[in-house]
Amino acid sequence: MTVTMRGDGEPVTIGGDALVVTAFKGELGALAETIDVSLGDELAAMLASGEISGRFGEVTVVVAAAAIAARRVVMVGLGDRAVLDAYRLYNAYTFVGRELRKRRLTRAVLAADLSLLGRAAPDQPALLRAMVTGTLLANFEAGALKKDAEDRSPLIEELVVAGLDRDGEDSIDAALSEAVLLADSTLRVQRWTSAPANTMTPTTLAGAVRELCADGPLAVEVMGREELEALGAGALLGIAQGSDEPPAMIVVRYDGGGDGDRRLALVGKGITFDTGGISIKPSLGMEMMKSDMGGGAAVLAALHAIAALKVPCNVLGIVPATENMPGGRALKPGDVVTAIDGTTIEVVNTDAEGRVVLADGLGLARRLGATHIVDVATLTGAAIVALGHVNTGLMSNDPELTRLVLRAGEQAGDRFAELPMSPEYDVCLHSDVADVVNWGGREAGTIAGGIFIREFAGDLPWVHLDIAGTSWNDQGNLKDVPDGPSGSPVRTLVWLARLFAAG
413 is a contact residue toward ligand BES (CB under 6 A) = no
Of positions 17, 274, 346, 455, contacts ligand BES by CB under 6 A: 274
Upper half-sphere CA count for residue 398 (Cβ side, 13 Å):
17
**358: nearest Cα among 275, 417, 299:** 299
Phi, psi of 444 (to 5 degrees): 50, 50
Query: What's the rounded Cα separation, in Å, for the pair 463 and 11?
Result: 43
CA 162 to mean position of chain CA atoms = 27
Is 281 noted as a catalytic residue in this protein?
yes
CB of 438 to ligand BES, least distance (A): 8
- Report the residue number, 22 or 241, with the smaller CB distance to Mn ion: 241
CB of 390 to Zn ion, least distance (A): 21
Give the interface segment with Zn ion, choosing from 80-88, 352-360, 387-395, 449-457 (CB under 5 A): 352-360
CB of 143 to ligand BES, least distance (A): 22
113 is a contact residue toward ligand BES (CB under 6 A) = no
- Work out whether strand 335-338 and strand 344-347 pair parallel, antiparallel, or are unpaired: antiparallel
184 is a contact residue toward Mn ion (CB under 5 A) = no
Query: What's the rounded Cα separation, in Å, for the pair 488 and 187?
Result: 10
Instruction: Point out the catalytic residue in the list 119, 281, 332, 407.
Output: 281
Binding mask 259-278 for Mn ion (x = CB under 5 A): ---------------x----
Cis status, amide bond into 202, omega within 30 of 0: no
CB-neighbour burial class of residue 10 (10 A; exposed 0-12, middle 13-18, buried 19+): middle
Give the interface segment with ligand BES, choosing from 9-17, 79-87, 247-255, 352-360 (CB under 6 A): 352-360
Give the interface segment with Mn ion, choosing from 233-241, 247-255, 349-357, 439-447 (CB under 5 A): 349-357
CB of 385 to ligand BES, least distance (A): 9
353 is a contact residue toward ligand BES (CB under 6 A) = yes
Query: What's the rounded Cα separation, in Å, for the pair 480 and 94?
Result: 11
Give the interface segment with ligand BES, choosing from 12-20, 33-41, 148-156, 344-352 (CB under 6 A): 344-352
**The one-letter amino acid at 312:** P
- Report the residue number, 333 or 458, with the smaller CB distance to ligand BES: 333
Q: Would the annotation count 351 as a binding residue?
A: yes
Look at residue 489 and give the partner it binds from Zn ion, Mn ion, ligand BES, none, a contact being a CB closer than 5 to 8 Å depending on partner kind. none
Query: What's the rounded Cα separation, in Å, for the pair 196 and 144?
Result: 11
Query: Residue 253: helix, strand or coil by DSSP?
Result: strand
| Cβ-based neighbours of 277, under 8 Å, separated by 6 or more | 239, 242, 324, 325, 326, 330, 331, 350, 351, 353
Of positions 351, 360, 375, 414, contacts Mn ion by CB under 5 A: 351
Binding mask 55-94 for ligand BES (x = CB under 6 A): ----------------------------------------
| Cβ-based neighbours of 189, under 8 Å, separated by 6 or more | 294, 297, 298, 301, 485, 487, 488, 490
Binding mask 288-327 for ligand BES (x = CB under 6 A): x---x-----------------------------------
Q: Would the annotation count 353 as a binding residue?
A: yes
Query: What's the rounded Cα separation, in Å, for the pair 439 and 457?
Result: 18
Residue 65 CB neighbour total at 10 angstroms: 15
Look at residue 77 and give the partner it binds from ligand BES, Zn ion, Mn ion, none, a contact being a CB closer than 5 to 8 Å depending on partner kind. none
**Alpha-carbon distances, residue 249 vs 37, 217, 368 (angstroms):** 60, 20, 13
Give the interface segment with ligand BES, choosing from 197-205, 233-241, 315-323, 346-354 (CB under 6 A): 346-354
Of positions 178, 184, 245, 274, contacts Zn ion by CB under 5 A: 274
346 is a contact residue toward ligand BES (CB under 6 A) = no
DSSP strand E in 311-410: where? 314-324, 335-338, 344-347, 372-377, 392-396
341 is a contact residue toward Zn ion (CB under 5 A) = no
295 is a contact residue toward Zn ion (CB under 5 A) = no
Query: What's the rounded Cα separation, in Å, for the pair 128 and 258?
Result: 32
**296: nearest Cα among 329, 325, 330, 273:** 273
Instruction: Point out the catalytic residue in the list 355, 415, 491, 498.
Output: 355
Query: What's the rounded Cα separation, in Å, for the pair 182 and 163?
Result: 22
Of positions 139, 275, 380, 488, contacts ligand BES by CB under 6 A: 380
Please enumerate, by residue number, every residue annotated as part of a binding site for Mn(2+): 269, 274, 292, 351, 353
The residues of the shown chain that bind Mn ion, judged by CB under 5 A, are 274, 351, 353
Under the rule (CB under 6 A), what is the footprint of ligand BES? 274, 276, 288, 292, 349, 351-354, 378-382, 439, 445, 468
Annotated binding site: 269, 274, 292, 351, 353
Q: Provide the annotated active-site residues.
A: 281, 355
